[in-house]
Chains A and B, each alone.
Chain A
Amino acid sequence: MFYREAGDFKTSYGEDSQTFPIKFDRLRYFAVLAIAFGVVPLFINDYWANAVAVPFLIYAIAAIGLNILVGYAGQVSLGTGGFMAVGAYAVYKLMTAFPEVSIFIHVILAGGITAAVGVLFGLPSLRIKGFYLAVATLAAQFFLVWLFNKVPWFYNYSASGQINAPDRTIFGVFVTGAQTSAMAKYLFCLVMLTLVALVARNLTRGTVGRKWMAIRDMDIAAEIIGVNPLTTKLSAFAVSSFFIGIAGALFFAVYLGAAEVGEAFGIQKSFLILFMVIIGGLGSIFGSFAGAAFLVLLPVFLKNVLVGTLGWPTDLAAHIELMIVGGLIVVFLIAEPHGLAQLWRVAKEKLRLWPFPH
């Protein structure tokens, strides 16, 4: 009834190719943005920011990044944790070396550095694919973690190998360090996520994205119709790593404030983000959001219900939580192998026909 193309007339090419062709979708999109930017910051407190909102926003950036590589370009990667570490250490070195430069620029630069590293580790993808590429990126993961542990220059020769984010501001408002307000943290991450999502969405709709998908679907056929596998694969690695680097930089500087590479950016992180992408839906920007929300919010939610409301012992709750999350992942993948994004797509199809399904 509300959700349909009929009656929504488009009179220009621009309107015809907009991201959300359905009016209801557009309104919903602007409503979400308005609430996220206008309403949530007024009510957010330390707990909501640090335990729920900021990790969700940052993981969503990382998931979008990985989704470009795995979902759109079809290059399996297990190096996400290592690339996030590159972003984190890059922003740390930049923050401490050039304290007068805005943190916003540092985060973008950290993304750029990660993109360069990502391209370097993406070179093997020109010769190998599938599981073999996964193993090559796994090597990147272990190598990068080892590197940041081994070379003291990366952590400014501190005794413990920890990196600590110093206080930095944007327009006089603290966004890193202990004095940061919940609102500043949230808004900074939200702005980053919005930018990343817009860029990602528009890249995947254009020539670049189509080339990625062509390579994913059949690389030989793509090459025959004139898609250059070298630039296509490497651009996927670069863009993906750029976003993941931003996520890593925010993860360290805004969210944790202090990190050590083995614990914060280990192989578990790579798997976690890969699970987000798979559960959310490969090749879907919305899926990246849904996957990140599922794996960030569900454990916190379960913990609060089991320990807070039901009063269970913390260890029992932690074990049950693992079982529930694991079980739900299996159920979801059996019921809907294409992820949460597919559920969303099906819902939209149904909505178009509603209330007359036949």
Chain B
Amino acid sequence: MKKTLTALVAAALTLTTAPAFAELVVPNLSYRTGPYAANGIPYADGFNDYFTLLNERDGGIGGEKVANPECETAYNTEKGVECYESTKGNGALAYNPLSTGITYQLIPKVTADGITLYTPGYGRTSAANGKVFEWVFNFPANYWDGASVAMKYILDQEGGDIKGKKIALIYHNSAYGKEPIRTLEELAKKHGFELSTIPVDHPGQEQKSQWLQIRRDKPDYVLMWGWGVMNQVAIQEAVNIRFPMDHFIGVWWSGSENDVAPAGDKANGYKALSFHGTGMDYPVYADLKQYVIDAGKASGAGDQVGTMLYSRGMYAAMIISEAIRKAQEMSGKSNVNAAEVRDGFENLDLTEARLEELGLPNFAQPIKASCDNHGGPGSAKVFQWDAAAKKWTEASDWIESDKDVLGPLIAEDSAAFAKENNITERCN
């Protein structure tokens, strides 16, 4: 049995060595199954569609077509390893696994293999320190920025004084959910609010006791670091205990259309952060419609276009494509390799003007990366769900994170990583 299976696997693998039909390979480690699929699908679709647009409209990047071999991870670290190993051999230029757990595993691997890991708004926060994390980029914002922006917004709502207020954090009990706690603890010291943290275990379908606790403690605000089915359940439970929705703020991973939809009209007023715009009002969608959607080349079912997470998948694809473009510019050739793409990321200069050229005016903050800055501007907007119109409306302008608090934390955490792994700082 064992031998036959091994033989069959061998046969299958020899068959799977796909022909290299494109020169630029950006694998898409996605998840369209399991408890996190509701959030994984729009992101993967947006990511694929943007590259399809580049291929169809411009003939790729700098004349080179881009391929996005997709691999299903189901948000599972073991499958993530399998996906990474199976795709890295085809000349992969950058990875975007959309999972903090998989990111933690891949950080040492990409560093050894020399491939860029791009984790916009997730992953290891201290990777913002390019001095230690040479191959990892997490601009434009990270979890600690998110925590700080949310607190600044609350400060603003409360007229600048939140002393003695009670703030609860309901979080996915994993590396992802635990990331903001340290920042929030620091901020609690600084601003004098009372922080309580409430974990929800994977996958988060059962949250009755957590919300009972919230109902009993009556916090003034609830922050959420949730993902997948946990978001939908949390919003529904908040509705059930009649928690005021405009005092319930999710990080950018807890604010998609699919998260608020199950609670229906009751979810009206729910707030979530985002580091980019959303909706179909950008000129790029005209091209996207012409070249991708109407041409029948849309990824997945094509029903997620223009949603919050679709926009985020598109954002990640846009940044990766701009980094490749920069790499081509710097190396003077179109067929760039993984090391050149890393240099492209490090020298990325995304200006307002460039965003407008791309058909995404005011979609995101400009980014200027450098050798030591892999973290970007770290600002985000607050969006509010309008259940009647079924769309996210902007509830604030760009809010910048509190760098005075975050800087030392990032330095401390990256120094610990450098010490553990005997890394000497670069860029000095």
Q: A residues within 8 Å of B by Cβ?
A: 46-47, 50-52, 55, 96, 149, 158-162, 164, 166-167, 177-179, 255-260, 262-264, 266, 289-290, 293-294, 297-298, 300-301, 303-305, 307-309, 313-315, 317-319, 340, 343-344
The residue in B89, B174, B202, B300 that gathers the most chain A C-beta atoms within 10 A of its C-beta is B174
A160 touches B175 (CB 8 A): yes
Q: B residues within 8 Å of A by Cβ?
A: 1-2, 5-6, 8-9, 12-13, 15-16, 18, 30, 32-33, 37, 41, 70-72, 74, 76-78, 81-82, 85-86, 88-89, 100-101, 104-105, 107-109, 111-112, 124-126, 173-176, 178-179, 181-182, 199, 201-202, 300, 413, 416, 420-422
B199 touches A256 (CB 8 A): no
Task: Please judge, given known A-B contacts A51-B85, A259-B77, whether A164 and B420 are in contact too, CB under 8 Å.
Answer: yes
With both chains docked as a complex, state the minimum distance between the C-beta of A175 and any C-beta of chain B, in angstroms: 14
CB-CB under 8 A from B41, the residues of chain A are 315
Task: Please judge, given known A-B contacts A166-B420, A259-B77, whether A266 and B12 are in contact too, CB under 8 Å.
Answer: no
Cross-chain contact of A305 among B2, B12, B78, B422 (Cβ < 8 A): B12
Cross-chain contact of B13 among A257, A260, A304, A317 (Cβ < 8 A): A304
Q: Provide the main secondary structure of the chain B interface.
A: helix
A260 touches B174 (CB 8 A): yes
Cross-chain contact of A318 among B13, B72, B100, B202 (Cβ < 8 A): B72
With both chains docked as a complex, state the minimum distance between the C-beta of A66 and any C-beta of chain B, in angstroms: 18
The residue in B8, B12, B70, B202 that gathers the most chain A C-beta atoms within 10 A of its C-beta is B12
Task: Please judge, given known A-B contacts A51-B86, A314-B30, whether A304 and B6 are in contact too, CB under 8 Å.
Answer: no
What is the chain A residue whose CB lies nearest that of B416? Answer: A158
CB-CB under 8 A from A178, the residues of chain B are 108-109, 111-112
Task: Please judge, given known A-B contacts A149-B173, A179-B112, A314-B72, whether A256 and B5 are in contact too, CB under 8 Å.
Answer: no
B81 touches A166 (CB 8 A): no
Inter-chain pairs besides A46-B85, A164-B104, A301-B9, 14 sampled, C-beta below 8 Å: A160-B178, A162-B175, A167-B422, A178-B109, A256-B81, A256-B105, A258-B77, A258-B101, A258-B104, A258-B105, A263-B77, A304-B15, A307-B71, A313-B32
B104 touches A300 (CB 8 A): no
What is the chain B residue whose CB lies nearest that of A182? Answer: B85
A314 touches B182 (CB 8 A): no
CB-CB under 8 A from B77, the residues of chain A are 256, 258-259, 263-264
Q: List 8 A-B contacts (CB under 8 A).
A: A47-B85, A50-B85, A51-B82, A161-B174, A256-B77, A260-B104, A266-B202, A315-B300
Task: Please judge, given known A-B contacts A262-B173, A294-B1, A318-B33, whether A50 and B82 are in contact too, CB under 8 Å.
Answer: yes
CB-CB under 8 A from B182, the residues of chain A are 159
Q: How far is the CA of A96 from the CA of B199 in the complex (A)?
A: 27
Task: Please judge, given known A-B contacts A178-B109, A179-B112, A263-B202, whether A309 and B12 are in contact too, CB under 8 Å.
Answer: yes
CB-CB under 8 A from A167, the residues of chain B are 421-422
CB-CB under 8 A from B126, the residues of chain A are 159
CB-CB under 8 A from A317, the residues of chain B are 72
Cross-chain contact of A162 among B88, B104, B201, B300 (Cβ < 8 A): B104
Cross-chain contact of A309 among B6, B16, B37, B81 (Cβ < 8 A): B16
B5 touches A314 (CB 8 A): no
Q: How far is the CA of A307 from the CA of B70 in the complex (A)?
A: 9
What is the chain A residue whose CB lies nearest that of B76? Answer: A263
A47 touches B174 (CB 8 A): no
CB-CB under 8 A from B420, the residues of chain A are 96, 164, 166
Cross-chain contact of B6 among A179, A259, A297 (Cβ < 8 A): A297
Q: How far is the CA of A298 from the CA of B105 in the complex (A)?
A: 24
A308 touches B18 (CB 8 A): yes
B201 touches A262 (CB 8 A): yes
What is the chain B residue whose CB lies nearest that of A96? Answer: B420
| A-B pairs, 6 with minimum CB distance | A308-B16, A315-B32, A178-B108, A178-B112, A160-B175, A314-B72
The residue in B5, B100, B108 that gathers the most chain A C-beta atoms within 10 A of its C-beta is B108
Task: Please judge, given known A-B contacts A149-B173, A256-B77, A293-B1, whether A300 and B71 are in contact too, CB under 8 Å.
Answer: no
Q: How far is the CA of A307 from the CA of B421 in the complex (A)?
A: 37
What is the chain A residue whose CB lies nearest that of B15? Answer: A309
A300 touches B9 (CB 8 A): yes
B33 touches A159 (CB 8 A): no
CB-CB under 8 A from A47, the residues of chain B are 85-86, 89
What is the chain B residue whose CB lies nearest that of A53? Answer: B6
Cross-chain contact of A55 among B32, B78, B112 (Cβ < 8 A): B78
A160 touches B124 (CB 8 A): yes
B85 touches A298 (CB 8 A): no
With both chains docked as a complex, state the minimum distance between the C-beta of B283 and any C-beta of chain A, in angstroms: 30
With both chains docked as a complex, state the minimum distance between the C-beta of A41 and any C-beta of chain B, in angstroms: 15
A51 touches B81 (CB 8 A): yes
A315 touches B2 (CB 8 A): no
Q: How far is the CA of A315 from the CA of B74 in the complex (A)?
A: 9
With both chains docked as a complex, state the minimum distance between the C-beta of A311 and any C-beta of chain B, in angstroms: 9
With both chains docked as a complex, state the minimum distance between the C-beta of B30 and any C-beta of chain A, in angstroms: 7
A159 touches B125 (CB 8 A): yes
CB-CB under 8 A from B82, the residues of chain A are 50-51, 300
A159 touches B413 (CB 8 A): yes
A319 touches B33 (CB 8 A): yes
Q: How far is the CA of A335 from the CA of B88 in the complex (A)?
A: 40
CB-CB under 8 A from B100, the residues of chain A are 160
The residue in A179, A301, A344 that gathers the most chain B C-beta atoms within 10 A of its C-beta is A301
Q: How far is the CA of A309 from the CA of B10 in the complex (A)?
A: 12
CB-CB under 8 A from A50, the residues of chain B are 81-82, 85
